[in-house]
Structures are given as structure tokens and as C-alpha cells.
A and B are shown apart, each in its own frame.
Chain A
Amino acid sequence: MAARYYDGVTADVQEVTLKVTSHELLINRSEDSGVVARWPVADLVVLGDSHHEAVPPLALRGSEARLVVEDPAWRAQLVSLVPALKPLALEPVKVPPRLGAYSLAIVALVGLFWSAVEYGTEYAVPLLPYTLQAKLGETVLDELLTDKETCQGRTGLAAINRLANDLAREAGYRHEVTVHIVEGGPVNAFTLPGSILVFYSDLIDQAKDSSQVAGVLAHEIGHVVHDHPIKGVVRAYGIDLLFKVLTGGYSDILSTFGTGGGALLAMRNGRAFEREADATGVRLLEQRGLRADGVSSFFEQLLEKEPSDAASAAGIWSSHPPTRERIEATKRPATGRPAFSPAEWQALRNVCK
């Protein structure tokens, strides 16, 4: 049995022959049969295995010397004599079936992962500790408000917070909702994790009546009660992770593609969230017997100002559904009680003054 022997001290190579006895592996020089080493069988170790290494080296425990048997037939013979050396000559890998099995497993796992991200968040997000969500929301809020002035009118803030919490309770939501009003524009409002709502004062200033502000507020409460902000974060993270894992985490080119794909999926999620929040907002207002035509009239007002409709023009790149679609979906008669009393509405109008 021929092999190559490295003594672990120098890079010398010795061509050797091997002989196995009941308790020893005898290593002799090929040229003069001189003894090179005697390795106790009990201390032999295989470094690696024949599925990964072309020729797994044989070593003596605790030594840096190596023995390399290139011929697979001789390796198999060695294993038959010393079964503990099995990794030297494992059954050869049957490549096609293995590739097929792993490919199927990967497809199934991607499907499972995708489903977990897409549908699992629905059930998993409410289980996330609320304190964590609140902490995340507060951090983002701090960041957003660093160079902004917030409005401090106490009566106005009390009015909008009162309605926000009434609507949240109507939906069975058990956490306190906090509304902040930022001075200036754009004409917008948004929700952060931890039941934090941010309104821009331009939205209040440009509203034709209190029902529009109430409509937008109810829409944002829709986001709150459905945990949309945190679901969005979890889904975006999940999809990003899937792309990274699928590409082996190796390629920045693919990460770029992944980020693009992830952004598109986030937009699609965003449109679904907006539709759900629209429907919930209108339902909550109706359940409380309040005027529910504010959202659609607010959208009509937006459309009058910008007839081209940015959301519609952006198509799949928009985080919101087309405005006309939203108007149709939220259209309600101008019936019901006003959401704010005249005094509350006046205070809200003056919240930044």
C-alpha cells in the first residue's frame, strides 16, 4: 500500500509503504524499507471525509504528521482493515439524486419562508412585546422630530388624542394612542410602531372641515389597530433576509437586486395596508355614529390639486393605491355626528398658535 508521508516538521515528502498489524500502522520508506514511523491504530484520525476532501489525510492524534493515500482502492482496503477510518472512503456521492433532493428542499423552504413572512406576520406581530414596539416608535419619532417644531396647543392636542383613543377602543385596541402634531407640511399623517401618530399642521389647516381630519385620523387608527407599522418592518426584514440567504450572502450585485425586489414588495404590502386602513377607518367612524365622508372628500380635494394623481402614475412603485380607487372605496353620505365639537375643532385649528 503506497502513500505520501509528511512529517509535520518540514515540508519534505517521503514515498512510503504501509502495513497494518492488529495494533499498529507501520510506515516504511519505499526506497529502502527503513521504518519512518509506527502509529498506534487507536490513535489514528482521519482529517475530514471523502465527501469533502478528495483525499482526506490520515494523522496521528496530537501530531502534525500526515499520511496521504491517493489510491481510492487502497484507502478502501485500509478502511476494511481499520473500520474506524471509515471517513477515508465513504460511499461516493450520487450527485444527480442529491442535487434533485436539495433543489426540491430549497424550493419548499423558500415557499415556507415566503408564507411565514407573508402570512405568519399576521399572527406573530401581535405577540411581539409591545414595549419593544413602543421603544422603536419613540426612537424613530425622536429622529424625525430633531429639526422640527411640534405644536403644543393643549386643548387641540387633547381633542385629537381623545378622538384617536375613542376610535382605537371602538376597534378593541387596548393600548394608549398618542398623536403628535408637527408644524408645517407636507399635507400628510403617518403612524409609527407603538401607537404613535404624527400629523402635519398643514393637513389640519387645509382641511375643509373637521370630518376630513377625523377621516384621516380614523385611517391612521386603522393602521394602528392592524399593527401595520411593525408588520411592515417585519416583512421588509424577512424579505431582505430571504434574498440574502438565497444568494448565499455572497454577492453585492445580488443584494442590490434583492433590495430592489424587496422595495417593490414593500410597496405592494404598503398598498394592501392602505386599503385595509381606509376600510377600517370608515367602519370605525360609522360604528360610532360619526360622519364618515371625510376621507373620500379629503382625497377628492387632493385630486383637485393634483389631477395627474402621483400614486396612479407611479403604479407598482407607489406605496399607496390610486387616489380615484380610494375615493370610490371610501365614499359615504355626509350623515352622522361631527367627530369634533365646534370648540374642539377650533382648538385643533389653533393647535400651533
Chain B
Amino acid sequence: MSDASSPWVQAAGSTPAGTASQPAAPGTPWSPDLSPSQPVYDGTLGELYAIYLRHLAMMLVTLGWSRFWGRTRIRRYVWNHLSVLGDRFEYRGRGRELLIGFLLALLVVAAWSGLMYLVWLYVFHEKPFATFGLFDLFSLSVVLIGFPLAYVGHYAGLRYKLSRTRWRGIRCGMAGSAWAYGATATFLQFANAMTGYLLTPVVSVNLARPRIVNTRVGTQGFTFAGRAGDIYGRYLGYYFLNIVAWIVAGIATFMAIGGTLQGLGVSSEDFLKLFAHPSLHTVVVLLLVAFAAYILFGLLILPLRCWWQAYLLRYLVTHSRADNVLFATAISTWQMWGFLVLNYLIVLLTLGLGWPWVMHRTMKLIAGQLWIYGAPQGSAIRQPADRGPGYGEGLLDMFDVSGV
């Protein structure tokens, strides 16, 4: 990143339209307040677990229907234990709003099912399409609409969460169309897949931009000065190193498995028999082998991915600003590894019971790695007239795995 494109330089060298900073006295060089601060997270793992386990128990009693209220309670805890510039966030969402969102999404799916039934009845029911059954048609159509709807759901879910978030009593929000975002995301991801993922920087920057520039804290918007061209060099390095790493990992795995089986004098038939009638010993050995393979994968492939992801996150954060407030992070490859890989392992090895731990680690990471330069002028940020959607996250619940 050149100094000329640095948001710090932009902030110091010019006063953007609508800036809330105090104007400099005539004849003196203007210098904005860029005092650094960091968010603070003061939640404890024990308290978070107490809320989570209650949620889990209620989920068992209600067969999962309490999840809307459980999520809300967890968000209330996490949000209010995070503060920026000494002021805590507030989460004012309600479980019933999530329930309504889910029920509406159910209605959408029911209407879609009805439509697909009619299509099947009038188009596919008769030959020559008779081999295409109703379930096939429905499954295919859900895959087709589910992919773009997951993106729409992501955006709409973010809008809902922000509309229920307050800072200094001011509602946050999200402008822009979730459908437009869904269409853009679907097109970009499709184009990326078609070009062997060589468009990843374009996709990353163009999907981050609408989410950043449409975010609002009251009437205060954000700006994003990122360009895909800035990060292509690093991505291409990652891309080709990744191919090399996969080849090396593949050869190493092949040699390790083949060598081990041969060394033990195990034939492929014996191996299959072991798999079909596993003793406890076999299960333990298989788990250890799977874990070893994952470690190999984790050691060779994932650090590379984390190297790229950490770079991308640093780039996105440092190129975002809210008027005279700048953001920065120095998140390292190792910290990204902890975030992506270790958190994944925690969830996997604890069969899901490690979720609060992962959440706690993530909040600590945000608090430890995000730097905020400057402070907004509070009087310039006003309460928005828009109260946000009346319900939320139905599509996210239906078409995607929606975490807290």
C-alpha cells in the first residue's frame, strides 16, 4: 500500500465533505484528532457458557423452536460487553422478530414448492420428461434459488442485526438493496468459479464495498477506498503457492498412507474389512489418522490461506473510514490461523459445545486487533428516522447456517 492511498494521508490532507472535525484556525495547519483507541470486550467465558447452556437445554425442550430467543440472549450479552470509545453497544432485537422472519421464509418456501408442483404437473409429469420426478425438480430448484438467496439472506440479516444495534443510544442500520447484493454476489461468485478463482480479489473487494459503504451508525455513513488492483499481486502469489502446496500435500499423504499400510502388511481387502467391522481400537486409530491428515493439511495448506486472508482483512479494514474516524488492524497470519483453523477445530472436537469459546475468542481478537484512530463528533451523528425491518433473518435461517 503506497502512502498516497493511505486513509491517514487522505484524512490529514483534506477535509471530506460533511466532516465533523473542527476547522483549523486561519493560518495554522489543520490536523485532525487521530488519537488511537481500541474496542474493549469484557465478557467472561463462564457467563457466556451459562447463557449458552441454558439456550441448549431450552432447544432440547422445545425441539429447536427456542433458538430465536436463545440467539437474542447471546447477542445481548456479547454486544453489551463490547465497547468503543468507552460506550457499550446495545442489542435490542427480540426473539419473536426472528420467529416471524423464519415463518415468513417458510411461507416463501411453501409458495415455491407449490409453484414447482405446478411446473412438474404441467411440464415434467408427461413424457419425455417423466424421468424428472417432483423431488428432483424441487431439489434442483432449491439449490438454484438457495445459492443467491443465501447472499440475500446474509445482507438482509446484517441489516436486521444492525437495525437492532445501538451505540450511544443511536440506532445503526444498513442502506442498499439485499436483492441487488444477492445478484451481484451470485454473478461474481459464478464468474470466479468459471475462471479458476482468479477473480477472488475482485469478488472480495466488490462484495466488501456495499457492506461497508451502506453501514450506518445513525446518520453517519462509512467510506471504502479499496481497489482490487491493489491486492492482486499478493493474491497471485498465494494462488500459485497454494497449487504447489496441494501437490506436495497430496504426494506426502499418498506416500504416508501407502507406506504405512505396506509396512504393516495390510492388504486393501483387510483394510476394507477393518472399516466394515470397526472395533473401538479401529475407531480410535481412524480418528487419529484423520486428525493427522488434518494436521498435515493444516500445516501445509491452511497457513497459506491464512496469510492471504489476514492480508485481505488488513486491507479491507485500513481502507474503510467513517468520516474522520480511521480504522486499522495488524492481524497476523498466525492470529488468522487461530481464528479460522483453531476455532474450526474447537467446534469440531467439542461437537459444537465449544461455540461460546469460539465466540469469546473472536470478540477478544476483535478487541485486541482493531485500532480506531480519532473519534466522531457526536453532535453530528443523528438518530435515523428509519427503524429498520420489523422482522429478520428468515432467509438466513432457511438457506444458510446463521451463527450468532
Chain A residues close to B by CB (< 8 Å):
4, 6-13, 47-48, 51-57, 64-66, 68, 93, 95-96, 98-99, 102-103, 105-106, 109-110, 113, 139, 142-143, 146-147, 241, 244-255, 257, 313-317
Contacts and interface: CB of A to CB of B under 8 A. Distances in A.
Interface of B: 42-44, 46-47, 49-57, 59-61, 63-64, 67, 70, 73, 76-77, 80-81, 86-88, 90, 92, 130-135, 166-170, 217-218, 220, 272-273, 275-278, 344, 347-348, 351-352, 355, 376, 378-383, 401-404
B351 A102 contact: no
Contacts of B56: 102, 106, 245-246, 248
A10 B382 contact: yes
A314 B276 contact: yes
Nearest to A312: B276
Contacts of B355: 248, 250-251
A177 B166 CA distance: 63
Nearest to B127: A147
A10 B80 CA distance: 20
B53 A103 contact: yes
B50 A6 contact: no
Nearest to A261: B351
Contact of A54 (B46, B55, B88, B348): B88
A247 B351 contact: yes
8 contacts: A10-B379, A10-B380, A11-B168, A53-B76, A66-B90, A244-B64, A254-B351, A316-B277
Given A249-B67, A254-B348, A99 B60 contact: no
B60 A245 contact: yes
Most buried by A among B46, B55, B60: B60
A9 B383 contact: yes
A266 B308 CA distance: 42
B63 A105 contact: no
A110 to B, nearest CB: 7
B397 to A, nearest CB: 9
B382 A248 contact: no
Nearest to A14: B378
A4 B379 CA distance: 15
Contacts of B47: 93, 95
Nearest to B49: A99
B379 A55 contact: no
A55 B80 contact: yes
A52 B80 contact: yes
A102 B54 contact: yes
A221 B220 CA distance: 70
Contacts of A241: 63-64
A241 B65 CA distance: 11
Nearest to A53: B80
B276 A11 contact: no
A315 B277 CA distance: 5
B378 A12 contact: yes
Contacts of A147: 130-131
Given A250-B404, A251-B355, 4 more contacts: A4-B87, A142-B134, A241-B64, A246-B351
B17 to A, nearest CB: 19
Nearest to A252: B401
Nearest to A244: B64
Contacts of A105: 57
Contacts of A95: 44, 46-47, 49-50
